[in-house]
């Protein structure tokens, strides 16, 4: 094996570890998952796992960053493909919700924020929120440029819109003991989110 192959192999190993960890964190949450369990899932020794990730925190951080990157990438593709800002904002909301549904680590992270969250994860949440705000701000700016939307400050409004979406999700998820969202609850959340987005868009649209 030459050194280039070694680098590739190491990279794909890292990717595999992150994917397996992602599934386990997603299923059981970070607190209830041990490095031993992830090593077992990978049929790897604990020592080998620690060679790639020195602790559970750094592995969890890698999982979160992977999820964030995928999400932002998917949304950015959407932003480039749809031309009407109002339609785009609706699409953004839908994509966001289904993404949170399928990849639960981020939403869980927010739930766990109420107990004891390490500063390193808080940074990841803040960084993600900033990236999301940029996307929404872009949609709102575009809507103003096209003479569709009317609002004072796109930065503040983007932030407010995201807080409201987050608030709706918390309203549904936090009233219950488990971290899993049942299909019925997800449907209610989807319904509420669509109704809210509709009113919000009407509220910023020039008629």
Contact footprint for a second copy (CB under 8 A): 113-114, 151, 156-157, 160, 163-164, 166-171, 174-175, 192, 195-196, 198-204, 207
| Closer by beta carbon to a second copy, 58 or else 171 | 171
Measured CA distances, 39 to 69, 199, 206 (Å) = 24, 48, 56
CA distances in angstroms from 121 to 22, 67, 77, 106, listed in the order given: 15, 13, 26, 10
Q: Which is nearer to a second copy, 36 or 174 (CB)?
A: 174
Q: Which is nearer to a second copy, 6 or 167 (CB)?
A: 167
CB nearer to a second copy: give 28 or 196.
196
CB of 170 to a second copy, least distance (A): 5
CB of 10 to a second copy, least distance (A): 38
Query: Which of the 8 DSSP states describes residue 182?
Result: P
Asked if 22 and 105 count as a contact pair (C-beta separation under 8 A), the reply is yes
Tokens coding 129:
């929120």
Smallest distance, Å, CB 59 to a second copy?
25
Q: Measured between alpha carbons, how far is 103 from 168 in angstroms, rounded to an integer?
A: 18
């Amino acid at each position: 094996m030459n050194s280039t192959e070694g680098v590739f192999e190491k990279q794909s190993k890292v990717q595999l570890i992150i994917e397996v960890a992602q599934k386990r964190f997603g299923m059981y949450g970070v607190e209830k998952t041990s490095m031993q369990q992830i090593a077992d899932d990978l049929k790897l020794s604990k020592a080998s796992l620690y060679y790639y990730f020195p602790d559970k925190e750094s592995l969890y951080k890698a999982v979160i960053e992977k999820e964030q990157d995928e999400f932002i990438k998917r949304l950015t593709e959407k932003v480039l493909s749809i031309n009407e800002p109002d339609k785009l904002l609706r699409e953004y909301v839908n994509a966001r919700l289904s993404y949170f549904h399928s990849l639960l680590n981020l939403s869980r992270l927010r739930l766990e924020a109420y107990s004891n969250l390490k500063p390193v994860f808080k940074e990841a949440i803040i960084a993600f929120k900033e990236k999301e705000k940029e996307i929404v701000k872009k949609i709102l700016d575009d809507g103003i440029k096209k003479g569709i939307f009317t609002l004072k400050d796109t930065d503040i409004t983007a932030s407010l819109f995201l807080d409201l979406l987050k608030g709706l999700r918390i309203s549904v998820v936090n009233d219950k003991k488990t971290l899993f969202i049942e299909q019925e609850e997800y449907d209610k959340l989807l319904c509420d989110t669509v109704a809210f987005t509709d009113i919000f868009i009407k509220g910023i649209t020039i008629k």
